[in-house]
Amino acid sequence: MVRNAAMTDLWYKKNDGECLIWIHEHLFTIKPGDKIKVYSDLNCQTLYCTNNPTYKDYSSIDSSGDYRVKMLPHCTLSDM
């Protein structure tokens, strides 16, 4: 689970699917093999993260092992 703690609404596409809003403080689930792109605009044109995190990036931040991480401002990842 990834929580939007970036202090603003963001948008994302999972596996090149539809553009979905990611409301501030809400969670979405990412599974092994999922490709997630996070955007700063509602048209999913402007990437929020220069180097989009992968499942491996998210899971490597999860030091507590509870499968929950958060995305902070400037695309910084942190364990919840």
- Residues 6 or more apart from 17 whose CB is under 8 A from it? none
Domain count, the chain: 1
Residue range(s) defining the domain that contains residue 25: 2-79
**Residue 65: its H or E element:** none
**pTM of the entire predicted model:** 0.86
Beta bridge partners of 13: 37
DSSP string for 27-64: EE---TT--EEEESSTTS-SBSSSS---HHHHHHH-TT
pLDDT digits (tens, 9 = 90+) for 3-49: 999 999 999 999 989 999 999 999 989 999 999 999 999 999 999 99
pLDDT for residue 78 is more than 90: yes
Q: What is the pLDDT of residue 50?
A: 86
